[in-house]
Structure 1
Amino acid sequence: MEGGDGGAEEEEQVMSEVHLGCPPHFCGLHVSRFSFSSRALGASEDDGGDGSCGGELIAAASGSGGSSDAVAVDEDGDLVLDRRRRRNKHVRSDYHLLTIQHGVTSSLKSVGLQVWKAALLLADFVLHKSFTSSYFDGVTAIEVGAGTGLVGLALARVARRIFVTDRGADILDNCLANVRINSGTLKFDEAKVCVRELDWKLSWPPPVSTCDPSDPSLRYLWSAHEIDEAEKATVLFAADVIYSDDLTDLFFDTVKKLMSSGAKKVLYLALEKRYNFSLDELDVVANGYAHFRGFFVTQDEHGDAIHGDKPGFVGKQIGLAEIPQYIREYERGNDLEIWEIMYSPEQKLR
């Protein structure tokens, strides 16, 4: 998730609902563990007779600190005790943990340091496809505005190559740390996940590095070969990148150029609608949502449109009922959405 720009506005601190229960005044980066298995939540199984799903055998960790003696607390400040594991014969062999280093709060400029609900929803979508089909097996993909890289990490288990992109050394350093933390536990080749800087203001293609790649200050620059490889990607992912009209404009401009280059691509975008009172409309509205929806038409609208006036993007909303929940440590709300978006270069973009 790319951060916004702006002077004093950057000092405002925001907090994701996912991090409720973390130490409220925690400084630095925190570690949370998100658990999943190939069996979705609510699916019945014989786990020993207590009716819990497989994901409950190892305690959730939205709040296990980076040190060994850290403790987790709930929103009232009470201790959250890990549930003791059941006997080994009841522990599912396909049980996994996504370990994410993240900020508990951040400025608007650094929201990519946090985990947001839309990323967890999109990760659930990736997991569902990987558990029930070969749809993402062996794909080359790009995560745009990746933030902590959570979606890319879920995909790395089955993809051939995933470019995890965002802007800013602090966000990219944290994303790379998450790749290294999870490569062993999720059993994917760390080399297949490429963390690169993609500044939407510079759009696509990004600047190419012609200097010594061992220079730490250049570690997130692209090589010409990587750009060629990324243009062969067939899938794009983005989560919670819709919260500022200016950034939405830049995002779709970047995606348009990505989807116009190389192989045909599909974008899977997840978002959470956030409501505020608007003085202009004297009503509670979801900031930026109408602006976002103005960039594409649905498939039904596309079919009814007059040829020549169609925008380049055509979207289909995916019902949340089609995406079982695999990751335990978040609650879905009615404001989450996920869209499948295609782009036709011969059509006209707004």
Structure 2
Amino acid sequence: MDQVAFRSDTVLSDVHLLLPNARHLMARLNSVGQPVFVSKFRILREEEQVEVQDSVKSDLGVLLDEDGDLVVTRKPNRMLCDREKIHPVILSQAGEAVSDEEDDEAEDKECAKDIIRIEHTMATPLEDVGKQIWRGAFLLSDFILSHPAVFQEATVLELGAGTGLASIIMARVAKKVYCTDVGEDLLSMCQRNVALNSHYTEPAAERGVKVRQLDWTADDFLTDADAEFGWSEEEVADLHDNTTFVIAADVCYDDDLTDALFQTLYRITSNLRSPSTAYFSIEKRLNFTLRHMDVSCEAYNHFRLCLKQLADMKDGKMKFTVEPVPCSFPQSFQYERVDQLVRLSASGCMDGCMERWVCGWMNGWMGG
């Protein structure tokens, strides 16, 4: 196999089509035969952030043509650096990712701490989309980097972490991050990414990212002592006692899973000792549907319906507020911050608590 094979059910993240990497090597095949890459992403300096944002603003056009048809704006003409399409070659079909030691030696040591390495796939069937990097993860990471004081010394839970990018960025400032998803193959990839980026989180000796399984369709935490990504009783207690933030990026693409997500949120957050805030980053994906005979964002619409139910819920125990978060913060990674990227927050606390809870969501859902 020397080429990427695409099938009718293949989902492709355009984050991976054009990357600013000088080096983009296919490292191995995962258990289902998908090519696996290790890509490097550099956190931009302040002057580069301004240049990228100005470039994107000047290149984005209107979304409708003269006939009123949808025009999805793609790749800005000018970016920070020239990017060419990558033609990957498989280096090996088994084993661990290829070492970047020679490349590391050539890097400027002062900039090495700002290099994030992520193992990922480029295309997957729908059930494996967590193995790709989506724009929502970059947007959420930008928000974390722009508001480090908000998360300083906090205990954070990430839901549907995928490759673990946002958890890795969060671990720079948070006290502890529980990075969760489901599937041993995906969780193993996430664990390797945490190890690949120990140089980034290293300054905080007490900090750590714990990769754990959290199945939204299950009724409780996996506490099997023999499970590689199971929870200990101490970790479950720590989560409930200390978590004040929940984050999630691009996790709503299936209505049943979205329902399960909100049910899981209610189950966990109703047991938290402190009021909590959740931040969602999601991309509105526009599709023409025969049912509507129009362009719609069905997965996003269902997600917003769930948020509305969350804000309207009155069960005598929990209270929530939901707010949009303007995407005006600096862009620290090089990607397309399209208009369809949305940040929402919701806050929740036990009914009757008087804490100030703006920006953030969390703590509950309603059946249905």
Q: TM-score, normalised by structure 1?
A: 0.74
Aligned to 1:33: 40
Matched, 1:253 2:285: no
- Match for 1:271 among 265, 282, 285? 282
Taking the aligned partners of 1:220 and 1:114, their CA distance within structure 2 comes to: 20
Where do 1:173-322 residues align within 5 Å? 173-187=188-202, 188-189=204-205, 192-203=208-219, 205-209=220-224, 211=225, 215=226, 218-231=227-240, 232-262=242-272, 263-297=274-308, 313-321=320-328
User: Is the contact between residue 96 and residue 186 of structure 1 (CA under 8 Å) also seen in structure 2?
Assistant: no
**What's 2:172 paired with?**
157
SS at match of 1:241: coil
| Closer, same or farther: CA 308–113 of 1 in aligned 2, 3 Å | closer
In the alignment, the residues of structure 1 paired with residue 114 and residue 35 of structure 2 have an alpha-carbon distance, to the nearest angstrom, of 26
Matched to 2:119, the amino acid is Q
The answer on whether the counterparts of 1:143 and 1:165 sit within 8 Å (CA) in structure 2 is: yes
Provide the rounded CA distance (Å) in 2 between the counterparts of 1:317 and 1:241: 17
8 Å CA contact 1:32–1:61 kept in 2: the answer is no
Q: Is the partner of 1:246 in helix, strand or coil?
A: helix
1:129 aligned onto 2:147: yes
Measured in 1, the distance between the counterparts of 2:198 and 2:124 equals 26
8 A contact 1:140–1:160 mirrored in 2: yes
Counterpart amino acid of 1:125? F
| Amino acid in structure 2 at the alignment position of 1:202 | A
C-alpha change, 1:135 and 1:295, in structure 2 (3 Å) is: same
Provide closer, same or farther for how the CA distance between residues 61 and 252 of structure 1 changes in structure 2, counting only shifts above 3 A: farther
Map 1:107-126 → 2, pairs under 5 A: 107-126=125-144
Q: Gapped runs of 5+ residues in structure 2?
A: 1-6, 52-78, 90-96, 101-105, 352-363
Residue 197 (structure 1) shift: 0.2
1:306-342 CA distances to partner (integer Å, 9 max, x unpaired)? Answer: 9789995421111111x210112x1110100011112
> Per the alignment, do residues 95 and 191 of structure 1 end up closer, same or farther by CA in structure 2, a change over 3 Å counting?
closer
Alpha-carbon offset, residue 107 of structure 1: 1.1
Larger mean Cα displacement after TM superposition, 260-269 or 172-181? 260-269
The CA deviation at 1:207 is: 2.8
The alignment-based identity, stated in percent, is 31
Cα RMSD for the two superposed structures: 3.6
Aligned to 1:324: 330
Q: Is the CA contact (8 Å cut-off) linking 2:164 and 2:179 kept in structure 1? A: yes
Residues 269, 338 of structure 1: 8 Å contact kept: yes
Question: How many residue pairs end up in the alignment?
Answer: 296
Q: What residue is the counterpart of 1:20 in the other structure?
A: 17
Change (3 A) 1:56 1:142: same
Amino acid of the structure 2 residue aligned with 1:235: F
Change (3 A) 1:93 1:191: closer
* TM-aligned CA distance change 1:324 to 1:348, over 3 Å: closer
CA distance in 2: counterparts of 1:306 and 1:56, whole angstroms: 45
Opposite residue 260 of structure 1, the aligned amino acid is: S
Partner of 1:141: 156
Change beyond 3 A, Cα 1:61–1:208: farther
TM-score (norm 2): 0.71
Matched residue of 1:261: which SS?
Answer: coil
Partner SS for 1:135:
helix
- Whether contact under 8 Å (1:313, 1:349) holds in the other structure is no
> Which sits farther off after the overlay, 219-228 or 30-39?
30-39
Worse-matched range after superposition: 185-194 or 247-256? 185-194
Q: Is 1:170 matched up with 2:177? A: no
Residue 197 to residue 42, structure 1, CA distance change in 2 (3 Å): closer
Residue identity matched to 1:349: M
1:343 lines up with 2:360 in the alignment: no
3-state SS of the aligned residue for 1:320? Answer: coil
Cα–Cα, structure 1 residues 62 and 196, in superposed 2: closer, same or farther, change >3 Å?
Answer: farther
2:120 is matched with 102
The answer to whether the 8 Å contact 1:295/1:313 transfers is no
Give the match's secondary structure for 1:234: strand
The 1:38–1:190 alpha-carbon spacing in structure 2 relative to 1, beyond 3 Å, is farther
CA 345–186 in structure 1, closer or farther in 2 if over 3 Å, else same: closer
Corresponding letter in the other structure for 2:135: K
Unpaired runs of 5+ residues, structure 1, are 1-9, 45-54, 70-83
SS at the partner of 1:340?
strand
Counterpart amino acid of 1:17?
A: D
